[in-house]
Amino acid sequence: MTKKLACLASTALVGCLLSATAAMAQSTGTEAVEQVVVTASTLKNQNGTIVAQTVPKSRSTITQDFIARQVPGQTVLDSLNLLPGVNFTNNDAYGSAGGDITIRGFDSQRVALLQDGIPLNDSGNYAIYPNQQMDSELISKVDVNLGTTDVDSPTAAAAGGTINYMTRKPKDDFGGVFEAQAGDGNFRRFFGVIDTGKIGPWGTSAWFSAADAINDVFNGPGKIHKTQYNARIYQPFGDNGDFISLIANYNKNRNNFINRMTLAQFQAGTGIGYSRATCARPTPVAGTAQVDFNASTCYKNNINPSNTGNLRGQSLFHLGDSFILTVDPSFQYTLANGGGRTLFNENGNGTGNGIIRGSALTGGQDLNGDGDILDSVLLYSPNTTNTRRYGVTSSLIWKFADNQSFRLAYTYDEAHHRQTGEYTTFNSDGTPSNVFGGKDGYGKSIKLSDGSILRRRDRVSIATLNQFSAEYRGRFMEDKLLLNVGLRAPFFKRQLHNFCYQLDTFNAYCTNQAPITLAGTNDGNGQTLVNLPGQPLANQYGRPREFTRKYDKVLPNVGVSYNLTDRQSVYFSYAETLSAPRTDDLYDKKLTNPDPEIAHVYDLGYRFQSPTVLLAASAYYNDFTNRIERAFNEQDNIAFSVNVGDVVLKGFDAQFGFKPEEYLSFYASFSYVDSELKANIPGTTLNSVLPTKGKELYETPKYQGAVRVDWDITEALSVGVQAKYVGERWTNLTNTEKVPSYALLDLDARYQLDGLGLKDTYVQINVKNLADEKYLGDLAVNPSGTGLGQPGYPRTASITLHAAF
């Protein structure tokens, strides 16, 4: 019997395997079941940049060895940027300002981000917030499934694949790490973590960490400030791998925005940041009219505050010799907004633009306290989201043969999503009196004469996922053939309550005023659309309402791999994935019920894995149906969602790792994607059509490439150099505007201080964008018009002192 089979035959099924291999999974259940069919020898890993794979699907993995060579504290998504098919555009060099990620042509709202197996995408719009992720020092590894999911992936948004990062376990011995960092842009960061080691009679271990980082906005005034706390406690039971664990995370961000610009502004060099000079506000004086002039320029108005946190439980228990039970409960909390400002005329006749955006102010009201209603006063108008999310992912694994297993999995995920927009005042210096506006318990709200609160949005949604999964895995033909067959059946429900009148999928109007009924225009719910007093007659609103939408589907997941030799294997996988409509797709003036987006993904891959060479290449075909995009009617200032029909994506990914000597390694990746919209789509005006048939998706580079070289020059000094090339990208679905390609060059150098008697202590230098490339990164696209881009950060150097004890 081989070493692998001997290990599998023992009661310590998972404990034996986990001690011998690197885990390659998402949830505790997937991690456990994948160990049943993995080989017992340690999986090959070249400096954490590329890791050998055994699963019969396209997956790439990085580990802490590589993550630690990037800027410490950097968002973990930036560390994925070298992987094939992945493109992350970071909004600043230190990872605290956000960014955007795409995988094989799918944007971030169609990619599931998970932390220890729990979903982190926004429950309403599936957005990913890179600047809110766990401190990079605490992440053991990241798995990226390209275009597919695992059978128990707890998500309704994974049409384009999954990203799952795993938290490191506590160490067996007492110790700690302290890091102090400084860099360009007045950057400074402090990080510390303490490991308790094994304590008490049961070998309990834990760690606790804290970090604080601050830097300047690089293209204008403003600060980016991030504070984070993490902790983990781990309790093993016996020696067979049974355990329970609890992980906690809290993150606080206070950011000024980095100004976006058009392609024309970028090329002309006229795109600038927000202004510091226009933040002073006029002093209120009774009897005269004051006007706030900084309605669109003051950097202090443009902020992105967030308080987020979660608790993540993990557990694994053997039930006899053949069964394993895993249970991973979780709770998440979010309070965040993207800032905002609105100029109001105190006499109630609208704003500086002639329309009160999102709320009614009638009869006149003194907003600045000077005793008159003659002024135009700027109010802080954030769209605040407050989410409480409860979940559990569980698996029952039956190992009924030495090399075969069957799993049943269940996921429950319920998110209470409260979206409000209570206005509040600005201080005299241009800062809001409270970053969360007039939300109850935070800032002072604006009370109107009818007793209501001045607000721009007021709605509640409850998103509930009940998901059942089944999976079979087995090895045959002397372990050369690996078969994986699974079914994932999500039952997803959105309960939506809108307490305001809705103009389009984004803009609401909250008022107690009696509406003016419009005969003959049905809202799809048996009622007519309405006009509202004081609003343009062209604006027709849907009434306040509540409704429910359900999305259910059985999704197959099949993979098979065959070992041609000890070092070569081929695999084929097929997966069907689902992305249910987002909340904003459903909140419209007319009731809508768009079909979920469905992707059929076919992958054919080859792997060569030796002690010195790791090669993985795959060709894929993705048939994507019912894609939903946002359209914008510039003439009527109305945004809405539109189904663009079928989209086909096909391409090729490859990555290559070569380590000829222990002191030298080389990595390269390449990806090509060809996307095609199969039909024209409705335009932004009545009976118009956008010529999209045969066109490509926006924000999708057709070509990408990356390289990295690691060189240990001496035992103390090591250097890494990496480069990423991103091809041209369209900014719209009609392919009339394209941003240029760009290449980023990064450098990292580390000097170990062991020779000075300081074990595990080093100094590290990182330089991002070494060549000072000028480029547009994160794109805010427009289906039919001009898009906006985030200017790329300039050359940025930082230094880190990492001290361990």
Q: Given a cut of 60, is residue 242 above it in pLDDT?
A: yes
pLDDT (0 to 100) of residue 703: 97
Rounded alpha-carbon distances, angstroms, from residue 249 to 68, 75, 156, 388, 536? 20, 15, 23, 15, 47
Give the burial class of 201: count Cβ atoms within 10 A of its Cβ; 0-12 exposed, 13-18 middle, 19 or more buried: exposed
Which string of DSSP letters, residue by residue, matches 712-724?
Answer: E-SSSEEEEEEEE
pTM given for the model:
0.91
Please, what sign has the CA dihedral across residues 380, 381, 382, 388?
positive
pLDDT (0 to 100) of residue 683: 67
* Closest among 5, 61, 75 to 31, alpha carbons compared: 61
Pairwise CA distance, residues 332 & 56, whole Å = 32
Answer yes or no: are the C-beta atoms of 352 and 439 closer than 8 Å: no
Q: Given a cut of 60, is residue 682 above it in pLDDT?
A: yes
Question: What secondary structure, in 3-state letters, does 173-198 show?
Answer: CCEEEEEEEEECCCEEEEEEEEECCC
pLDDT (0 to 100) of residue 60: 95
Pick the range with the lowest mean pLDDT from 19-28, 82-91, 142-151, 580-589. Answer: 19-28
Pairwise CA distance, residues 641 & 593, whole Å = 11
Q: In sequence order, what are the residues at sequence separation of 6 or more whose Cβ sits closer than 8 angstroms to the Cβ of residue 311?
A: 246, 247, 248, 330, 331
pLDDT, tens digit (0-9, with 9 covering 90-100), for 320-366:
989 999 999 999 999 999 888 888 888 875 433 333 333 445 567 88
Which pair of structure tokens corresponds to residue 125? Answer: 């719009």
pLDDT, tens digit (0-9, with 9 covering 90-100), for 528-540:
899 988 788 888 8
What does residue 155 show for φ and ψ, rounded to 5 degrees? -150, 150
> What's the one-letter identity of residue 518?
L
What's the mean per-residue pLDDT of the chain?
87
* Closest among 78, 26, 21 to 44, alpha carbons compared: 21
State the pLDDT confidence band at 8, using cuts at 50, 70 and 90: very low
Pairwise CA distance, residues 748 & 714, whole Å = 15
Pick the range with the lowest mean pLDDT from 109-113, 233-237, 363-367, 420-424. Answer: 363-367
- Vertex 23, ends 564 and 763: CA angle to 5°? 115
Residues facing 776 on adjacent strands: 791
Pick the range with the lowest mean pLDDT from 135-149, 176-190, 634-648. Answer: 634-648
Q: Given a cut of 60, is residue 676 above it in pLDDT?
A: yes
Q: Given a cut of 70, is residue 35 above it in pLDDT?
A: no
pLDDT, tens digit (0-9, with 9 covering 90-100), for 198-241:
999 999 999 999 999 999 999 888 999 999 999 999 999 988 89
Residue bearing the bigger pLDDT, 164 or 683: 164
Q: Given a cut of 50, is residue 245 above it in pLDDT?
A: yes
Pick the CATH number of 3-167 from 2.60.120.10, 1.10.1740.10, 2.130.10.10, 2.170.130.10: 2.170.130.10
Q: Given a cut of 50, is residue 12 above it in pLDDT?
A: no
What is the three-class DSSP state of 301?
helix
Beta-sheet strands, E only, within 306-403: 306-319, 323-336, 341-345, 376-380, 384-401
First vs last C-alpha separation in the chain: 44
Tell me how long the chain is.
Answer: 805
Question: Of all residues in the chain, what percent carry a pLDDT higher than 70?
Answer: 90
Instruction: Taking residues 725-736, report their average pLDDT.
Output: 91
Rounded alpha-carbon distances, angstroms, from residue 520 to 261, 508, 719? 42, 22, 71
Rounded alpha-carbon distances, angstroms, from residue 192 to 166, 195, 338, 646, 695? 19, 10, 30, 49, 50
